[in-house]
Structure 1
Amino acid sequence: MFKVSARTVLELGSELISSDAIAFYELIKNGVDAGTKDGVTIKFKVVLARRDYLELRHTVNRLRNMPDNGNHAEDEFDFEEALAELLDETRARLFSDAGKLYDRAIEFLEDIDDLDEYDAALEEIDALNQVTVSDTGSGMSLEQLETVFLVLGTKSRKEEVDTAFEDGVSEAPYLGEKGIGRLSAMRLGDRLTVRTAREEDETFNILDIDWTDFEDPQKMIEDVTIEPRVGGEKPQPDYSGTDIRVRRLKANWDRNRVERLAVDDFSLLANPIGKPKRHRIAIFWNGERINFARLDKNFLSHAHATLKGEYKIRDGSPELTLRMELVNLGFEHPVEHQIETLKFDDLLAALVGLRQKRSRENKRDVNAAALTDVGPFNFELYWFNRATLRKGRSTGDYQALRKLLDQWMGVRLYRDGFRVYPYGTEDDDWLELDRTALRAKGYALNRIQFVGQVDIGRFSNPHLIDQTNREGLRHTPEEAVLKEAIQLAVDRLRDEMKRVENAFKKNKPRVPTDPTRTKALEQRMKKAIRALARSADEDQREIVAEFEEMREEFSRYAAEARERILELEQDTDQMVAMAGVGLMVEVVAHELARSAEDALDTLNKLQRKNVPEEVRSRLESLRASMKAISKRLRILDPLSVSGRQRKEAFELDELVRDLLSAHEAQFDRHHVKLETHFPDRPVALKAVKGMVAQVIENLVSNSVYWMDIERERKLGFKPLLTIAVEDNPPRVRVTDNGPGISPEYAERVFDLFFSLKDKSRRRGLGLFIAREAAEHNGGALVIDTEIVNREGRYTTFDYRVIGSDE
């Protein structure tokens, strides 16, 4: 059997309770779990701050080291005068609002003649400081102090929680269950006194603990004796409750720090946005109540955008509903409302993704089961654009909003209405909002812009469990789903913001590019000027000449404008082309790396083989790999910017065959069965060949990805990709048996930056660029809404390649 040293208790306390805020959090939870009728009261009675105590001790030590203490000449150090100054300084540092404690401290400082007496007085004054956490809950008996409070990791509450869960109770009976929260008192001070009583008790039950008794490294846990005792009579016969009194405080407590603790922590312990639940907290500093802020719901109405999410399990399948409202993005636009629902297939792709991809990126393994096991949860995020607020910096409204935003900013996590630390603290970026905002262009959706919360429950989310050290949830697949679902929602909010920006902020009148319109205006101006010249007298001819010069200048500027517009259109086309090339580089590089790895693996095996037949076999494998590389490299040529811009005559069916041939190795790896349908005769057309290739490549790559997602979801799934080339008009239809596209997103998938892939691949460029490329050739890329799978989702892309006859 293990033997436990007494110091282990101190180590547990320091490791499990990492801050004063968490120490109070645990003590408050204990009061709530005890069923307190009047909430929890925290009373600070402090007459001398810890910092002042330590500084005075330092002064004492310095005086002790002075030469000739009390035996000195008149021109030397005056010890009595120094001691008198020290006493005056000590009195000045006492908190006069401490009432009786102040009076007692003054008494301790009377009739002091030497430093030893002062030392003793200073220790007595420090011992006066205390913090008491009180509740009017069920209280504890003498026996319970012995068998429950003094037993670390007691299982009594856990058993009740487990029983309630099995009985189908909707809410957990306790906020805590680990039985280690009582170590929080150790964090606050060296001395602990527990005074408690049940309603049926006639007297208080007392427990005293001096945590310094555990410091001796030679002591074992059983060498420290702690015994509960019977205390005095209760003030009322029906009283029940518990007082946790801590003395010999370790931290520096003054009024300012208590007020900051109230604002920064206590005001956020209970859910500030939702309905308050049984969590009244009252704080007193030397008898005066400290008021801490309550979130004014009117403040949230000033948010520039809101995002509300509801993750639920419907008929055993997960579903995420997002409600977005865009009120003010910094430019003129109507209030935009967007409601969308992501079903299981969408969530599987966006939150789980491909297993091997997550493994390569050292991400937590998340399986499909975690999407359901995580349980239902809700979140509300309110976004404030600080740039917009800064524009009104001279107004009182700006100052008020900025102050409130500084106080409440962050996204916090609440379980059953009670806060889970450290989520949403000043240094915590658990949703990686800052890092994402730094990478993303456009709107900064970072921590300092958001006020929000996430609500979970002990019973509704049994797999979301606190770490023992109170530093967040345990890293499980379910915790990853919670986090990444909210990150996905924030990405969707950013996408909506960009969509509105593109629709309204950049929706400027199109510049006319038809030269015939400007030429017609010039002709009208000429006729008008000639008419004026015929009817003008001598005095007006100079004005007519001025009009003629203005007409010529207008013509010159119009010609320059047309030339510049043409250049801009060419630049835009080139940017679209280059974006397509950039997108293809990733795909091509991936395939080239795969082929190179195969080739190197083959060569390594050949080095260990001497049999000619095997050498011949390996060489054939190497030749096949290099052939695949060659095909991929040939595809790069028409995808180049210069190649993409040239229209040329080619056969669509031949191009599709070449593209699919280059994917043979990929199809083999992903177990994709390819089914093709080609017309009896060639499909000839004239178009930018590289752009046609880019569209088809994107559709094929997307199909492979989504069928991989489906293969991880369904055992025995056999990926099937169907490519059909048709004539009159020339078109390519791409169908796969993957999860398909929800009708809700039939058009949204073509929007810039819209994507429901996992966050490592969530760029939202592919289909946007593919449609742009299709339209550049005079064609169109759409989803065939007539073809649906069993889930009613669309599975077919229809690419009409209509090349011009130029």
Structure 2
Amino acid sequence: MFRITARTVLELGSELISSDIIAFYELIKNGFDAGTKNGVEVRFDIILTKAIGQRLAREAGKIDQAAENSAQLLKELKAIVDGEILESASKEALTSFRALIDAAATPAALVDALTDGMRQFNTITIKDTGSGMSALDLEDNFLVIGTGSRKKAIDAALASGTDKAPYLGEKGIGRLSAMRLGEQLHVETAKISDTHFNLLEIDWRIFNTVDAMLDEIDVKPSLGELKPFPDWSGTTIVISDLTENWFKDRVFEMGDREFSRLTDPFEDPGVRPRIAVFWNGDRVPVASMSRSLLEAAHAHVSGKYSINEGEPSLKITTDIADLGFPHPREVRTIVLDRADLEGAIIGKDDHIDDRALIDVGPFEFEAHWFNRRRLPLKDAVGEKLAIRDEQEKWSGNLLFRDLFRVFPYGEEEDDWLELDRRALRRSGYLLNRTQFVGRTQISRITNPALLDQTNREGLRVTPEQRVLLLIMRFAVQDQLGQAIGEVEKQYKAQKIDLGDAQKQVTRMEDRAKTALTRIRRFSPPDAEEAIADIQQTLAEFSQFAAQARERIAQVEQEGRQMVEMAGIGLMVEVVAHELARSTESALRALEKLKDADVPDRLRGQIATLRAEMKSINKRVRVLDPMSVSGRQRTELFSLNQLVNDTIAAHASQFERHRITPIIHLPEKTVRIRAVKGMIVQILENLISNSVYWLDIRGKRENFKPEIRISVGSSPPTLVFEDNGRGVAVENQEAVFKMFFSLRDSKRRRGLGLFIARDAAEHHGGTLNLDDYRDPQTGRLHRFTLELPEGLQQ
């Protein structure tokens, strides 16, 4: 059986309670868990600040008692001590402290009096009027570290179906918070059924005995005085021998900045749990958030995540109020059901179990964005309110459980929504954490899987915690960012930033070249011809990518062509990814075979790679008309043949994803005069979307993925559909908006369908998502490209 040393308790306290405000937070929460009837009071009673007291003790230590003037110096120093005493401290503390100082007859005695007086009479008191504790409660619960009593009560509440948690905490370690604040702990408590107070005294220093075992430390409750009246109940915790230097400005600053954020400041003051802080009897203001601050925000996003009859849904509303240039107020709402959430939040990498979408439970959030450079002073309720200062004070996206703070979310150095990292890569308006004032609300009962880490460094890392983070990042980074971007695009001239795509293509090329160099080293001599073919494909792609990049740079200032370049960049990036994936996949296989005597299998691997490279070569050649010179050149071509060539170019990709393409072409070929590259781009973007969503459905259901393409004439028409998850009816038009995407965060671009529709409209045609609802999914699956009659030849 394990035995525990006494000093382990001190180690636990120092590791688990990492700051003063968390120590207060734990002790305050205990009061609310006890059902306090009028909140919790925190009282600082400081007779002499620790820093001044220690300085005066050092001065007393310098007095030479043998010197002739020592008595005079001692008297003068006592006068200085008296002048430093805080007269606002309690009368009892002042009287006792002055008695110690006056009784000091020598400099050494004055040093002891200063030290002992501050240890005894500088105190912090946390008081509640809750249910209190009996002597048995002190013995069996308070003195049991990690007690399971609250955990059992919470589990029972969860099982009963109640909507209110009986306790805020459950770990049974909150009492260790007291040791963070001071070495001495005095507990005075009673239940209604008690006639006397129950007392507990703990000197945390005795736990620091090196060889002492925990069971050797004798700490027991005792019986105190009679209660003031029979139905009195509650708990008073007095902490002394304080470890920190407490002074008025520091406590008032904590009231303004830290105590004010322990409970949800977005709520009406009448709803917020009452925390009253006092400094030497004077009430310390605990700040409340002004609604005027939120009304002054330049943009807002809010959302509600719900679980209805076992199905998750997410509703997000964005409100773009004022971006600093003329535009109407733009309020938009998007609703995501399970299918959309599986694509946007879970993705296709299998890092999170789908069940987490349910187990995370319902929650709500709001975030208000401020362009800090444009924050003025505004009048609010008849007084000048410095909006900038208020925004700075409340900045951060806070997390609250049952109205109480979950640390460290929203702290100055915490970037849990990864806003700063994304802001570095974003052009235009930055969305960084200091510009937001926001909150997310969860509950112990409705979100039982979202538990705090024991060290208060955030939620435990679980699939449900990951879902919460991804939903919040999706709403704030993507949806709000997208809404701002759309307003910018519509009402203010903007450029499309292709820097990310260009860097990505360069990285993919480098990866492919590196892999190919190593493949040469592992390959048998008779594979040289195949390697040469692969090298040629890579060279052709590199040349194509370089031309695209060069042209992008040339037209960087031209509005419409920037959209065209975005399309090229998107497609080049897709092909670059395929190129890197193919070469690296073959390299991994070859490395496994390099020491084995399996030349036939080795040749087979080279042959497979060669086939994939030929497929990529076809894709490069199909994409070649998408170059700017090609895109702007109208030519006569067969729509039938273009579909066949495009499908052939994707053959290895379809095989890898187990997708069956089903093509219906008319017997008489449909010939059109159009910009071939644009038509290719439309088809490529539709295929790219389908592959992703077919993968999503395939990972969660047993079905055979299919893509169906049909071509018609009079007018020239291309109908494209798949049997994936489809598109929600409410997003029928949204999917064509710039930056709208419900793919996971790694693959979220939001340009493909926007560019595809733009290409269709360039020809006077249309690209729409049909109203037809699939009987199985109830969603939209069918895209129709219709070109004008005049294009058919």
| Structure 2 CA distance for aligned equivalents of residues 33 and 609 of structure 1 | 67
Verify: 1:651 aligned to 2:638, yes or no.
yes
> Could you say what secondary structure the match of 1:439 adopts?
coil
Cα distance in 2, alignment partners of residues 671 and 397 from structure 1? 67
- Which residue pairs with 2:404 in the alignment? 418
Contact 2:14 2:180 in 1 (8 A): yes
1:317 aligned residue: 311
In 1, the alpha carbon distance for the partners of 2:77 and 2:557 equals 83
CA distance in 2, matches of 1:689, 1:607: 45
1:340-419 matched pairs, under 5 angstroms: 340-355=334-349, 365-390=351-376, 399-419=385-405
Q: Distance in 1 between matches of 2:273 and 2:725?
A: 46
- Structure 1 residue 148 corresponds to structure 2 residue 141: yes
Task: Give the match's secondary structure for 2:760.
Answer: helix
Q: 1:495 to 1:396 in 2, by over 3 A?
A: farther
Q: How many residues align?
A: 729
1:700 maps onto 2:692 in alignment: no
Q: 1:48 to 1:774 in 2, by over 3 A?
A: same
Question: Would the alpha carbon gap of residues 676 and 196 (structure 1) be closer, same or farther in structure 2, given more than 3 Å must change?
Answer: same
Q: Any residues of structure 2 matched to 1:527-546 within 5 Å, and which?
A: none
State the 1:568 CA deviation.
9.0
Helix, strand or coil: the match of 2:386? helix
Q: 1:607 to 1:302 in 2, by over 3 A?
A: closer
Find the aligned partners of 1:672 and 1:450 in 2 and give their Cα distance: 44
Q: Which residue does the alignment assign to 1:784? A: 770
Matches within 5 A, 1:612-627: 617-618=604-605, 620-627=607-614
Structure whose CA Rg is larger: 1
Shift of 1:155: 1.3
- In structure 2, what is the Cα distance between the partners aligned to 1:650 and 1:271? 65
Instruction: Give SS of 2:427's match.
Output: coil
For the aligned residues, what is the CA RMSD? 2.8
* Post-superposition offset of 1:437: 2.7
Residue 585, structure 1, aligned to residue 572, structure 2:
yes
Q: 1:805 to 1:208 in 2, by over 3 A?
A: same
- Say if 1:103 and 1:608 are closer, same or farther in 2 by CA, change over 3 A: closer
| Aligned residue in 2 for 1:451 | 437
Residue in 2 that maps onto 1:305? 299
Where do 5+ consecutive residues of structure 2 fail to align? 495-553
Query: Does structure 1 conserve the Cα–Cα contact (< 8 Å) formed by 2:582 and 2:609?
Result: no
Corresponding residue for 1:96? 87
Alignment partner, residue 740 of structure 1:
726
Of 419, 425, 445 in structure 2, the residue corresponding to residue 433 of structure 1 is 419
Q: What is the aligned partner in structure 2 of residue 120 from structure 1?
A: 112
Q: Distance in 1 between matches of 2:634 and 2:556?
A: 17
Gaps of 5+ in 1: 357-364, 508-566
SS at match of 1:368: coil
Report the Cα distance in structure 2 between the residues aligned to 1:576 and 1:485, rounded to whole angstroms: 29
- 1:710-721 pair list within 5 angstroms: 710-714=697-701, 716-721=702-707
Deviations 1:503-534 (A, max 9, x none): 33459xxxxxxxxxxxxxxxxxxxxxxxxxxx
From the superposition, tell whether residues 687 and 285 of structure 1 become closer, same or farther in structure 2 (CA, over 3 Å): same
Mapping of residues 210-229 of structure 1, within 5 Å: 210-229=203-222
In the alignment, the residues of structure 2 paired with residue 611 and residue 146 of structure 1 have an alpha-carbon distance, to the nearest angstrom, of: 72
- What does 1:99-248 align with in structure 2 at a 5 Å threshold? 99-100=90-91, 101-110=93-102, 112=104, 114-127=106-119, 128-248=121-241
**In 2, distance between residues paired with 1:657 and 1:104?**
96
Q: Secondary structure at the match of 2:258?
A: helix
Quick one: distance in 2 between partners of 1:417 and 1:390?
31
Give the secondary-structure state (helix, strand or coil) at the position aligned to 1:473.
Answer: coil
User: Whole-Å Cα distance in 1 between the matches of residues 466 and 37 of structure 2?
Assistant: 37
Gap change, CA 1:712 and 1:53, over 3 Å in 2: farther
| Cα distance in 1 between the residues matched to 2:240 and 2:354 | 52
C-alpha distance in 2 between matches for 1:617 and 1:466: 53
Q: What amino acid is aligned across from residue 477 of structure 1 in structure 2?
A: P
Q: Is the 8 A contact 2:5 2:214 kept in 1?
A: yes
Alpha-carbon displacement from aligned partner over 1:473-514 (angstroms, at most 9, x marks no partner): 11111111112112222221222222233333459xxxxxxx
| Residues 592-622 of structure 1: per-residue CA shift (max 9 Å, x gap) | 1232235435655775566776566555434
C-alpha spacing 1:608/1:664, structure 2 compared with 1 (3 Å): farther
State the 1:202 CA deviation. 1.7
User: Structure 1 residues 136, 573: closer, same or farther in 2, change over 3 A?
Assistant: closer
> Which residue number in structure 2 is paired with residue 28 of structure 1?
28
Match of 1:252 in 2: 245
Partner AA of 2:461 in structure 1:
H
Q: Which amino acid aligns with 2:108?
A: D
| Alignment-derived partner of residue 539 in structure 1 | none
Instruction: Establish whether residue 37 from structure 1 lines up as the match of residue 37 from structure 2.
Output: yes
Q: Distance in 2 between matches of 1:498 and 1:179?
A: 48
Percentage of pairs with the same residue: 48
- Deviation string 1:256-275 (CA, Å, 9 cap, x unpaired) is 11111212222222222235
- When residues 102 and 457 of structure 1 are mapped into structure 2, their CA distance, relative to the original with a 3 A threshold, is same
Q: What's the counterpart of residue 628 of structure 1?
A: 615
1:7-18 matches, within 5 Å, as 7-18=7-18
Report how far residue 397 of structure 1 moved. 7.6
The residue type equivalent to 1:90 in the other structure is V
Distance 1:493 1:615, change over 3 A: closer
Please give the secondary structure, in 2, of the residue aligned with 1:723.
strand
Q: Is the 8 A contact 2:590 2:602 kept in 1?
A: no
Aligned to 2:329: 335
Query: Which of these residues, 472, 482, 491, is aligned with residue 495 of structure 1?
Result: 482
1:309 and 1:610, CA in 2 relative to 1: closer, same or farther beyond 3 A?
closer
Change (3 A) 1:353 1:203: same
- The answer to whether the Cα contact below 8 Å between 2:716 and 2:787 also exists between their aligned partners in 1 is yes
Q: Residues 141-173 of structure 1: CA distance to partner in whole angstroms, max 9, x if unpaired? A: 122211111111111122111112111111111
Of stretches 117-126 and 597-606 in structure 1, the one that deviates more from structure 2 is: 597-606
Structure 1 SS opposite 2:772:
coil
Q: Deviations over 1:389-408 (max 9, x none)?
A: 24979x99875222322222
Could you tell me how far apart the structure 1 residues matched to 2:347 and 2:11 are?
A: 41
- Structure 1 contact 41–283 (Cα < 8 Å) conserved: yes
Q: Distance in 2 between matches of 1:575 and 1:737?
A: 33
Change (3 A) 1:86 1:647: farther
Distance 1:568 1:222, change over 3 A: closer
